[in-house]
Each structure stands twice: as structure tokens, then as C-alpha cells.
């Protein structure tokens, strides 16, 4: 198996492992609005499509903007398919841009908006994970880091679900699938460099049971000890709160000073109206026309300067983004362009089709030849095999030799098989020159003679004749 096929075989279980851990994590965000779980089939296809597209662009010379536009178009298409597969959203019957726009404005509840936002965010997360998996190198250390990170995510999600007491119906199947994909990805990534000692001493099935047993033991231990952890956390919180109680007034004063809550405050005695009944709030005066004009000038100046700065920053960012996308992708040296890649692929396809057609033609030709010579032509077939046998033995037939002359020359060089050789030559001459079908007895004798030429005891003489120096 070539290196490219081994990498593809490693990337498939890696993608499955990524789908499982993202699915477990995404299910946690759909608990709040109590909507249906995310459509895992559409999200999984989105990640696989992103992975395949990224690996395709790694094989050709391209500009970043080409890859960016293709990935953007692929993500929009995948997002449309994912939204159509969500039963809680009104996108299933949307057709065309007006239909999608009307469906976007048809959200009646806050839960629908939240569900739409979550689906969009997780669709982008799945697509980006496929993109980064396709861009990353395929080796064992990277796969190990992904597997360890997935274990941390699974433990975190299950702890959160135990705390909120909300089970996940997809959690256990996705976890089991995660371990199956993970062990397979680790095993295949370890075998990328053809480690003979590893391949001989371990197998994917042999590594899988210890990992599953360890996960089940640790999960059971944490599940049993979770009430103890909860009581310990409550006791620790109470202890810290009682110990920090004397510091409360000081913390309040520090926060008021830092955030401005203590400035411009009047004393508690001044909160009531004064003794004379006069108002505490001073009289407000309208600004004059000069002051109003100055205020407008200052306001427009400040907003103008801020607008110019923001416009300059936006232009600079867009320019840098354009330069980045318009440049060649990193590592493009020696890679073909898109047209050259398609031309190579087309030539390879034509070559494969030509090989297939020629092979089929040879196969059909042999079948037709056998049908044509069934029951007859034993002499011709025997003499053709005799010529092939003599050529491999170093004594090919000359163009001017008759079957009898060639058989005599072979019989003189290989006296041990002389009878079989002369018999095959005589049968060929009877069939060629007599133009008649051989009787059954002679055909059976010819088949025995052909089997006699395959005797292994003739190999030393054949090798000596082949490597004998000739004048």
C-alpha cells in the first residue's frame, strides 16, 4: 500500500473520532432550549466534505483565495443542508432566496433563534475541524494529542451532565464509537512508518480492550465518588465564605473606588430636603449659541477623526487580507496547478481504461481461441508450447526451420526429453501439412508429451543450455 493510501486510511478513523467528540460536546449546548439534538448525519458529512476538499487542494498548486472561496461555498452548501435537516426550524420547505429570507424572519420564539444560532455555530465548528485535520500532518504524535484531547472533552461533558442531572441518549454510543475510531487511528498512524516490530507485536484488536476497560473503571470510580466530591466542594465554599466575611466591607470600598461608585456622593444627612425647604438641585441654564456651535464642532471633529481612523484600519485589514489570500499557498513548490492536475488525472483515467480494454480484449481473445480450437488444433497448441519452451531454454526457433527440423535440433540438445519433443513436432506437421484433425489417441499422447516438458528434472539441462556460450 502506498503512503497516500495509508494516510487516507488513517484520516478516516481520525475524522470519525473527531465527529464523535464534537457530537458529544455539541449535545451539551442543545440542552438549554430543550430542542431536538443536532443532526449528526449532516454535520458528519460536512466534516468529511471539508476534509476531502482540503486534502484535494493540498495536492495542487493554488492561490489561497481559490481555496478560501471553494471552502466558503462548500460551507454555505453544507449549512443549507444542515438547516434543512433540522425539524424544529422552518427551513425544510424553503426554496430560493426569498423562501430562505422568509424562513429567517419567521422565528416566533427565542428558542428558535437560539437553535438557529447553535446550528450555524456548530456547522462552522465541524467544517473548520475537517479543514484543520486536512491541513495537519498525518502522523502518530498528532493523532495521540487528538485522542487525549477527546478524552478530556468526554470527561468534562459527562461531569457537566451529572451536575445538571440531564442524561445524553447519544452519549454512550458516541463514546463507544470514539474509542473504536481512536484505537484504529492510533494503530494506523503508528504503522505509517512501517514499524515492523510494532506491527508484529500489536494489533488494533489487542490494544482496544485495555483502553475500554480503563475508561470503564475510571468512569465507574468517578461516578461512585461524585457525591463525595460534591459534599467536599460545598464544605470548602462555606469555609472560604466564612473566612472572607471580615474582608467584605474592605472589598466593597475597594470596588467602589476602582469603578467610581464612591465619587460625588452626598452624606447621609444631606439626603433629605434642607431646613428652609429650598431645592437641593441647582438651577440649570441653557447654553448660548456660541457654546452650542462649539459643542457641535467638537462633536463632529471627534467623530470624524474616529471615523477616519476606523476607515483606515478597515482598509489596511482588507488590503492585508487580500495580499494574504492572493498569495500562493505555503508548500506549493513542485505541485501542479489545477489545470495540470486535471490533465494528469484525465490521462491516468485514459491509461487505466486502455489497460482495462486491452486486458478484456486479451481475455476474450483467449476464450475465442479456445473455443475455436476446441477438439482440434492440438498439434498447433503443442508446437506453440514447444517453441515457448525452447525459447526459454535458450534455443529459439529460426524462421527457416520446419517443425521437424526444429524438433530435431531440440532433441539433440535435450536427449532426456527427445521423445516428447519429436512427438510434438510430428503432430504439428501432420496437422499443418495433412490439414486434418488429429485422432483422440494422438491428442492424448500430445497432452502427455506437453506435461513431460514441464518435468523439473529438465531444469539443470535447460539452464546449462541457456547460459552456454555460443559462437
Name the grid cell of 161: 451532565
For 245-287, the pLDDT digits (tens) are 777 777 777 766 666 544 444 444 444 444 454 444 445 455 5
In this prediction, residue 279 carries a pLDDT of: 45
Name the grid cell of 350: 485514459
In this prediction, residue 285 carries a pLDDT of: 52
What three-state secondary structure class fits 286? coil
In this prediction, residue 196 carries a pLDDT of: 55
Q: Which residue has the cell 512427438?
A: 423
In this prediction, residue 268 carries a pLDDT of: 43
In this prediction, residue 266 carries a pLDDT of: 42
What three-state secondary structure class fits 141? helix
The residues of the chain scoring below 50 in pLDDT are: 261-275, 277-282, 284, 374-375
In this prediction, residue 270 carries a pLDDT of: 45
Q: Rounded to 10 degrees, what is the CA torsion of 40, 46, 50, 52?
A: 90
Model-wide pTM > 0.85: no
Which among 442, 447, 383, 386 is positioned nearest to 413, based on CA atoms? 386
How far is the CA of 366 from the CAs of 44, 136, 372, 387, in angstroms? Answer: 48, 50, 10, 18
| E strand or H helix that includes residue 194 | none
Amino acid at each position: 500500500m502506498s503512503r497516500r493510501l495509508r494516510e487516507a486510511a488513517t484520516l478516516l478513523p481520525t475524522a470519525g473520532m473527531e465527529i464523535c467528540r464534537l457530537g458529544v460536546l455539541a449535545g451539551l449546548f442543545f440542552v438549554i432550549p430543550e430542542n431536538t439534538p443536532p443532526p449528526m448525519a449532516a454535520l458528519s458529512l460536512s466534516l468529511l466534505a471539508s476534509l476531502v476538499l482540503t486534502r484535494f487542494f493540498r495536492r495542487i498548486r493554488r492561490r489561497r483565495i481559490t481555496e478560501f472561496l471553494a471552502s466558503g461555498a462548500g460551507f454555505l452548501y453544507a449549512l443549507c443542508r444542515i438547516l434543512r435537516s433540522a425539524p424544529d426550524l422552518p427551513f425544510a420547505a424553503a426554496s430560493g432566496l426569498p423562501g430562505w429570507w422568509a424562513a429567517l424572519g419567521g422565528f416566533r420564539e427565542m428558542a428558535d433563534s437560539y437553535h438557529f444560532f447553535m446550528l450555524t455555530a456548530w456547522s462552522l465548528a465541524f467544517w473548520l475541524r475537517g479543514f484543520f485535520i486536512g491541513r495537519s500532518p498525518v502522523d502518530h504524535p498528532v493523532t495521540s494529542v487528538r485522542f487525549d484531547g477527546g478524552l478530556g472533552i468526554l470527561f468534562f461533558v459527562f461531569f457537566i451532565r451529572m451536575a445538571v442531572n440531564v442524561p445524553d441518549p447519544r452519549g454512550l454510543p458516541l463514546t463507544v464509537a470514539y474509542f473504536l475510531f481512536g484505537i484504529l487511528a492510533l494503530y494506523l498512524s503508528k504503522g505509517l512508518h512501517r514499524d515492523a516490530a510494532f506491527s508484529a507485536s500489536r494489533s488494533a484488536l489487542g490494544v482496544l480492550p485495555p483502553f475500554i476497560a480503563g475508561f470503564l473503571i475510571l468512569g465507574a470510580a468517578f461516578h461512585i465518588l461524585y457525591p463525595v466530591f460534591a459534599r467536599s466542594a460545598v464544605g470548602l465554599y462555606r469555609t472560604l465564605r466564612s473566612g472572607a466575611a471580615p474582608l467584605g466591607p474592605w472589598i466593597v470600598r475597594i470596588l467602589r473606588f476602582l469603578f467610581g461608585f464612591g465619587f460625588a456622593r452626598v452624606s447621609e444627612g444631606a439626603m433629605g430636603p434642607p431646613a428652609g425647604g429650598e431645592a437641593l438641585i441647582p438651577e440649570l441654564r441653557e447654553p448660548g449659541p456660541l457654546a452650542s456651535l462649539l459643542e457641535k464642532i467638537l462633536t463632529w471633529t471627534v467623530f470624524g477623526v474616529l471615523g477616519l481612523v476606523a476607515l483606515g484600519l478597515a482598509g489596511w485589514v482588507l488590503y492585508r487580507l487580500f495580499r494574504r489570500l492572493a498569495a500562493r499557498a505555503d508548500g506549493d513548490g513542485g505541485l501542479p496547478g489545477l489545470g495540470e492536475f486535471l490533465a494528469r488525472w484525465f490521462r491516468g483515467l485514459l491509461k487505466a481504461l486502455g489497460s482495462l480494454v486491452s486486458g478484456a480484449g486479451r481475455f476474450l481473445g483467449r476464450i475465442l481461441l479456445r473455443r475455436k480450437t476446441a477438439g482440434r488444433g492440438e498439434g498447433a497448441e503443442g508446437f506453440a508450447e514447444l517453441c515457448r519452451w525452447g525459447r526459454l531454454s535458450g534455443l529459439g526457433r529460426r524462421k527457416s526451420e520446419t517443425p521437424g527440423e526444429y524438433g530435431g535440433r531440440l532433441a539433440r540438445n535435450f536427449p532426456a526429453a527427445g521423445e516428447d519433443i519429436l512427438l510434438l513436432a510430428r503432430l504439428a506437421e501432420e496437422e499443418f501439412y495433412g490439414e486434418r484433425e488429429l485422432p483422440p489417441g494422438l491428442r492424448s499422447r500430445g497432452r502427455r508429451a506437453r506435461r513431460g516438458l514441464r518435468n523439473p528434472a529438465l531444469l539443470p539441462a535447460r539452464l546449462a543450455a541457456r547460459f552456454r556460450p555460443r559462437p
